[in-house]
Structure 1
Amino acid sequence: MFSKYILMLSFLIKHFACWPSFLFFSQKNPVNYVLLNSQNIKQSGFDFSKETKFLIHGFTDDGLEEKFIKIKDSFIKSGFDGNIVSVDWEEGAKAPNYFSAAENVEITGTKLGEFIREVGINVSKVHCIGHSLGAHACGFAGKVIKLGRISGLDPAGPLFFNRKKERRLNENDADFVDNIHTDPTFGMHTPIGHLDFFPNGRTQPGCGLFDRSALESKIISIKLDPSFPEVKMIACSHNKATAYFAESIISDCRFHSVPCDDYDGFAKGRCQCDPKLGCASMGYFARKDFPEGTYYLDTHKHEPYCINQQN
């Protein structure tokens, strides 16, 4: 009997540790967020008639992580006049226990989906943007209530490669699921959405030992299994997906991408853009009306990343 209580207490502690906080930004409060909940949302300035962008961080990060503040700031700079909500699940995403964070994703995403449903946000106007584990959190939110759009920024690969689609982000979680894949080590290097973009093929330019910025050189400590030793790794290519997306919001350059079966075919010029639709745009301006499949492009090593191409 006592062991049952211990297990229940352990479950409750984990459950509430993963309970996300919702940090609300808008054109009226672009810097100082409002901590959103179901009781104050109607008095917070949240506009139910407009689009809502949910931003979900990944492993080791928090809701005010620099990568996501940059995405938030890009929306503000672009003149986006809707709601921007950064989903903070820092306690559930803490290093080094990646295996634990990977399980906490489901709780975080489910709570977000329940929140959207409870307060009555129009799901057709919801765009969930998640990096790494955060991409799968978007997916779990979409399993509670199907969303309008999910953008996965290098969806996490370890412990998700072999999962059934019901336990990870997949194309059924939103009306439109677009993904940017930048790192075959930390990310999932297989298509899991409607449009899957693979810039530069696999690893990203600018991530060589002497090319990385201080932010890109950030070292993370990670344990993939309780029985494994902790290792230290640099996730430069993994983080490039957030940089590309942030730039795509405010750039006139559209990250034109070519449908192709693999990067080698793209690099050798064997693949062409659609004669009627032109080239697909990677990032914020990706569109559902392009054929489902994999798309390839090259980028610059440093900002601005987009290479100006013609359709």
Structure 2
Amino acid sequence: MISLVVAAVLLLIHALVCLMLWTLMKLGLLPVRGHMLAVIVLVPLWGPLLVALLSVRSAVFGEGLKESALESLRFNDDLHRSMSVPSGEDDAGVVPLEEALIVNDPAYRRRLMLSMLTEEPDAYLAQLQAAKLNDDVEVAHYAATAVAQISKESDLKLQQLERAFKTDPSSHNLDAYCDFLGAYLDSGLAEGRVAQIQRQQYARLLARRCEREDGPALRIRYATALADADEIDKAEDVASQLVIDAPDEQDVWMLCLRLAVIRRDGQAVQRVIDAIEKQHVYLSADNREKLAFWRDGEEAR
């Protein structure tokens, strides 16, 4: 009987405490969220005590903790904003791919070669061709195998474009065939007699494109292709007309300079240099270096 009375009294006290806390919550004097009311009611003694402790903690430390957290976030944001992108000076210790194939130890060279083969061999064609001459037999074998595979795929693509052009000699097929053949020749995959035949074919394709289009850039490509195919006279005829039509185009004058060098004609080289300087033709840094090389050579001679 006594235990029941004690239990009833305790429950009454608990109910009064819950009512008091709920009233304080409603009045905004107790900074506790509504879902904590279930903890207060269902957990006698410890529920209200826990809520009271949380309220005291929030009142004493809450703002400080919030400001500390915000300050930490601001610090991290400033830290990330202050991180600079590495400049070119930071790359001073980076070894070029060509040197890595020559200087570093065999194990490193082989790992480098395998990484090139597994990523995108076409992008490293020049390095692979150089690696074919490496003194490491395994590296040279990997490189030769990769170059052979690239050459095989390029030959197949070239044959497909050629067949498509012969079947349908449209502008689209002509441009696709011509552009791929030009890139194929620039890659150095074609060698010997095959390369010479392909250069002649490339010049013919460009001649057909020039019949349809009439721009200096295309005609410069055409004259360059003629020079590569050892048709110097035709190349000079195209270059002479380009000098008349586009006298301010730097690539036209560099083409004339190249043709004079191929002719081994020192006087022609000097005439081109004088014409460029007289007409104040704008030259890029690379073309200025080429011009200075031949000017210094002529002056030394």
- TM > 0.5 between the two? no
TM range (shorter): under 0.3
Q: Higher helix share goes to which structure? A: 2
Q: Which has the higher contact order (CA 8 A, sep 6+)?
A: 1
Q: Higher strand share goes to which structure? A: 1
Q: What is the TM-score of this pair, normalised by structure 1?
A: 0.21
Larger-gyration structure (1/2) = 2
